[in-house]
């Protein structure tokens, strides 16, 4: 069980993901009165990165740009655990699940969650409207409380996947979506918010938490990936 004590989001537009993420994290830390020395972990969630890079972890770039515990490692130094998770549009929920499990075991009060994707290169067809979403997550405090995450693979179709390959004609790696389907649109029903199936991770988080703002009670946020897999985050506030 963790609490989201502050969050910030913005459409990415033509901006770079790292620069936008760092700007939003600084704003969220200021809003929650968080000191960098109290940050125990940084987890980035998303799929698309510039030039399809997977290493080093994008979270380590965030850590470096914010200069959080970037010191010489020794037996007494304070560490910040930074890593990425990638599970399609469901990535933010997987990241939150990891934070819920790991944060209580670490010597720090807060975790930084970032969710976002950017167009890998100009050769890749890009029909998305990506958002960058960041949050400060704590073990206690004011804000929506995450109770649990549930995953459902019942509608998973491996024919609807996104693959990356080298295009000899374009002389570049490109990303291509396979499998035709009619995407599910955003749905609001009582305490359930289900995102549009074409949304990427950052927009899923932004739209839900904007919808949740000012509400009280128990709520379910469902993310449905284009493959049909879904995750459901159960929140209370």
Paired residues of 187 in beta bridges: 194
Give the Cα separation of 167 and 114 in Å (integer): 31
**Residues 151-179: b if buried by 16+ CB within 10 A, e if exposed:** eeeeeeeeebeeeeeeeeeeeeebbeeee
DSSP 52: G
Give the Cα separation of 206 and 61 in Å (integer): 22
> What does pTM read for this prediction?
0.91
Give the Cα separation of 44 and 95 in Å (integer): 7
Q: What is the pLDDT of residues 155-208, one digit of tens each?
A: 888 888 777 778 888 877 877 777 888 889 999 999 999 999 999 999 999 999
Domain boundaries, the chain: 2-143, 149-236
Q: What is the pLDDT of residues 49-89, one digit of tens each?
A: 776 666 688 999 999 999 998 877 777 777 899 999 999 89
2-143 maps to which CATH number? 3.40.47.10
Q: Are 204 and 176 in contact (CB under 8 A)?
A: no
């Amino acid at each position: 069980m963790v609490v989201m004590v502050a969050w910030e989001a913005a459409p990415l537009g033509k901006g770079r993901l790292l620069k936008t993420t760092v700007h939003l994290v600084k704003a969220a830390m200021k809003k929650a009165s968080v000191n960098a020395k109290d940050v125990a972990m940084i987890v980035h969630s998303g799929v698309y990165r510039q030039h399809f890079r997977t290493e080093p972890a994008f979270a380590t770039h965030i850590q470096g740009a914010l200069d959080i515990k970037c010191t010489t490692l020794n037996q007494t130094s304070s560490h910040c655990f930074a890593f990425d998770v990638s599970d399609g549009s469901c990535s933010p929920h997987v990241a939150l699940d990891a934070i819920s499990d790991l944060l209580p075991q670490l010597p720090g009060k807060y975790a930084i969650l970032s969710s976002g994707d950017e167009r890998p290169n100009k050769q890749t067809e890009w029909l998305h409207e990506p958002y960058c979403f960041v949050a400060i997550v704590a073990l206690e405090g004011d804000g929506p409380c995450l109770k649990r995450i549930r995953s459902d693979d019942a509608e998973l179709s491996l024919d609807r996947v996104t693959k990356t390959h080298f295009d000899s004609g374009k002389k570049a790696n490109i990303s291509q979506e396979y499998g035709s389907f009619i995407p599910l649109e955003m749905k609001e029903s009582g305490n359930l918010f289900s995102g549009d199936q074409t949304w990427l991770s950052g927009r899923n988080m932004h739209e839900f938490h904007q919808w949740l703002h000012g509400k009280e009670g128990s709520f379910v946020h469902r993310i449905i990936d284009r493959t049909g897999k879904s995750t459901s985050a159960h929140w209370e506030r």
